[in-house]
Structure 1
Amino acid sequence: MKNILIPTDFSENAWNATKYALELFKNEECVFHLLNTYTPAIASSRFMAATLDGGSIENGAHLQSKRGLQNWVERIGKTSKNSKHNFKTISSFSFLVDEIKETIEEIGIDLIVTGTKGASGMEEVFMGSNTVRIIKSVKDCPVSAIPQDFEFTTPKEIAFATDFNRFYTTSELQPLIEMAKTFDAVIRIVHVQYKIEALTELQQFNLNMLLKYLKEVEHYVHTVSELNSVSKTLEVFSEELDIHLLAMLNYQHSYMERMTREPVIKRVAFHTQVPLLVIPELGMSKITKKDDEVSATSI
């Protein structure tokens, strides 16, 4: 049984992510953990009235959070009646990322599903600030970011963006492979280059290893020239090939890290058009026995 964590602020953006998760896992037994965090502003200034009751403010915020989660579960019940799905609620007086980390450790979450939307004007980014904070901070659980206006489409075309500069482990690639097998999807490995040139020996080795890992699923390799920025290039690639899910590993100097650090002017025209699957770096210390066996038979 999968444990899926869905943070919610009760917005329509969060509701769209919830609907996506319900549809994505409609054929699997899941426990959906619905999380709402609240941090009420408790005045501490000596100039404020001494009669202000901080505890009452916190209690009021807690009740509002609990009611909101109950309404969320009721709304789900009116939309989806699936005997394979169970729901649990978490209302916490905490910061969102801190509570997510604690929940992952306590429960063993398999996937975080969150809604995302860009801001407006020159502040426009490819994902909302909360989503970026989750991706940057959560190191041991995949994160799926769902665009606010995206209507569920079975992920038959999955893009995996990588530069081949890092060795992959089966543990890291498992969410990607599992998704492809579940939906009988094609994986399109996309390599964005500033200038098209031959792969280095290290890149070629890592590509060969990646192809071995993906041998049980249909896959293709695409090399594309960078258009202004990595995010813009992947947006165009996703549109042209009708990609339903864009997956990336998140590690130092990865495409994902570059996208979250790109100057605003470079991503001003970019919106996340398809769901993102961000897979955290597990590191060599977490390589499984199966990884070792694959590596040994490949040398």
Structure 2
Amino acid sequence: MIFTNEMKNILIPTDFSENAWNAIRYAIELYKNEECTFHLLNTYTPAIASSRFMASGSSTVMSGDGARLHSERGLKEVLLRIKSNSYYKNHSFKTISSFSLLIDQVKETVEDHNIDLVVTGTKGASGLEEVFMGSNTVRIIKAVKNCPVLAVPEHFEFATPNEIAFATDFNRFFTQSELRPIFEMANAFAATIRIVHVQYEIKALTELQQFNLNMLRKYFADVEHYVHTVSELNSVSKTLEVFAKELDIHLLAMLNFQHSYMEKITREPVIKRVAFHTQIPLLVIPELGMGKPSTNKERRAMSVSD
């Protein structure tokens, strides 16, 4: 598999929270040795007057202007904070302040700016309410169909991802294009890939599962990799959490498709996945299928060649 050294475009939505700042800092460190353009996105929607009988006037205009100014000022402050903390000469930064809904703008930006990866912070529990990765993160993962999403836990401090877990049940055939983000991470950090299969009860693989496993082994032939079969502990999310902790995993990767582990986890009862969202960065790769390019760059290159 061939990888290009083209400049990467990374999209990082921010609401100016410490949670979002941690995701920015993680992304910068992750790509410190690569030429990157980071697109920092903040969306805003001015407060709508509560009374439908209120006449439009200067107060409504000020509300919109105030939201826009807050967004633009916040992005400028983020840029200053980046340059005073961790700044690399091979990195450039662009800001996008948009009067839009977050998910709509993320999808549009991925297309318009040829984004290779979306990096977002994930929120932990708040009071009695347990939030799995944060509702915005889950919505981004579900909405973005043509770009990987990296979810960074709220308090996670950067660690070089030289141990990467790839969770799969071998029931689906994966294409090389779909696995490309994992290959790139493994190559960039000389990482070991640990293919982890969670079983409710340990039993032999079916013929289909064995075929898919054999294909994965061929794909990963040039990368140090191991296959781990583990018994389910209460839930898939809890099992992966324990696995990651015991093997000191620095990044967990999953493909997002119907009946995948990712889908199972998002549907698990909240009480079962309480600890999962606070552990390690999660790389979620969209389903591409046979013959489809893995990135916007590849799709555009194919359209030009045609």
- Quote the Cα distance in structure 1 between the aligned partners of 2:275 and 2:153: 15
Residue 189 in 1 paired to residue 195 in 2? yes
Number of the residue aligned with 2:12: 6
Q: 2:237 aligns with which of 231, 240, 248?
A: 231
Q: Which moved more, 1:111-120 or 1:81-90?
A: 111-120
Q: 1:138 aligns with which of 114, 135, 144?
A: 144
5+ long unaligned stretches in structure 2: 1-6, 295-306
Displacement after TM superposition at 1:285 (Å): 4.6
Q: 1:40 aligns with which of 37, 43, 46?
A: 46
Residue 119 in 1 paired to residue 145 in 2? no
Instruction: In structure 2, give the amino acid aligned to 1:130.
Output: N
Number of the residue aligned with 2:4: none
- Quote the Cα distance in structure 1 between the aligned partners of 2:139 and 2:45: 17
Displacement after TM superposition at 1:20 (Å): 0.5
- Quote the Cα distance in structure 2 between the aligned partners of 1:287 and 1:31: 21
Given that 2:132 and 2:270 are in contact with CA atoms closer than 8 Å, whether structure 1 keeps it comes out as: no
Given that 2:124 and 2:154 are in contact with CA atoms closer than 8 Å, whether structure 1 keeps it comes out as: no
Displacement after TM superposition at 1:82 (Å): 1.1
Given that 2:146 and 2:286 are in contact with CA atoms closer than 8 Å, whether structure 1 keeps it comes out as: yes
Displacement after TM superposition at 1:187 (Å): 0.2
Number of the residue aligned with 2:184: 178
Q: 2:222 aligns with which of 213, 216, 220?
A: 216
Partner secondary structure for residue 228 of structure 1: coil
Q: 2:155 aligns with which of 139, 146, 149?
A: 149
Matches within 5 A, 1:60-71: 60-71=66-77
Number of the residue aligned with 1:22: 28
- Quote the Cα distance in structure 2 between the aligned partners of 1:262 and 1:27: 38
Number of the residue aligned with 1:257: 263
Task: Assess, with a 3 A threshold, how the Cα gap between structure 1 residues 192 and 91 changes in structure 2: closer, same or farther.
Answer: same
- Quote the Cα distance in structure 1 between the aligned partners of 2:276 and 2:36: 33
Displacement after TM superposition at 1:42 (Å): 1.5
Given that 1:69 and 1:89 are in contact with CA atoms closer than 8 Å, whether structure 2 keeps it comes out as: yes
Identity of aligned residues (%): 75
Instruction: In structure 2, give the amino acid aligned to 1:282.
Output: L
Number of the residue aligned with 1:295: none
Residue 241 in 1 paired to residue 280 in 2? no
Partner secondary structure for residue 286 of structure 1: coil
Given that 2:241 and 2:275 are in contact with CA atoms closer than 8 Å, whether structure 1 keeps it comes out as: no
Number of the residue aligned with 2:299: none
Instruction: In structure 2, give the amino acid aligned to 1:192.
Output: V
Partner secondary structure for residue 66 of structure 1: helix
Given that 2:162 and 2:191 are in contact with CA atoms closer than 8 Å, whether structure 1 keeps it comes out as: yes
Given that 1:35 and 1:89 are in contact with CA atoms closer than 8 Å, whether structure 2 keeps it comes out as: yes
Displacement after TM superposition at 1:121 (Å): 4.8
5+ long unaligned stretches in structure 1: 289-299
Number of the residue aligned with 2:107: 101
Displacement after TM superposition at 1:40 (Å): 1.7
Partner secondary structure for residue 278 of structure 2: coil
Instruction: In structure 2, give the amino acid aligned to 1:21.
Output: A
Given that 1:161 and 1:191 are in contact with CA atoms closer than 8 Å, whether structure 2 keeps it comes out as: yes
Given that 1:250 and 1:280 are in contact with CA atoms closer than 8 Å, whether structure 2 keeps it comes out as: yes
Given that 1:114 and 1:145 are in contact with CA atoms closer than 8 Å, whether structure 2 keeps it comes out as: yes
Displacement after TM superposition at 1:270 (Å): 3.5
- Quote the Cα distance in structure 2 between the aligned partners of 1:210 and 1:287: 18
Displacement after TM superposition at 1:260 (Å): 1.0
Instruction: In structure 2, give the amino acid aligned to 1:117.
Output: K
Given that 1:170 and 1:287 are in contact with CA atoms closer than 8 Å, whether structure 2 keeps it comes out as: no
TM-score when normalising by structure 2: 0.91
**What is the aligned-residue RMSD (CA, Å)?**
1.5
Query: Could you list the per-position Cα deviations for residues 131-182 of structure 1 after superposition, in whole angstroms to 9, with x for gaps in the alignment?
Result: 1111111111001111111111000100000011111011110000110011
Count of residues in correspondence between the two structures: 288
TM-score when normalising by structure 1: 0.93
Given that 1:125 and 1:270 are in contact with CA atoms closer than 8 Å, whether structure 2 keeps it comes out as: no
Query: Could you list the per-position Cα deviations for residues 154-213 of structure 1 after superposition, in whole angstroms to 9, with x for gaps in the alignment?
Result: 001000000111110111100001100110000000000111111111111111111111
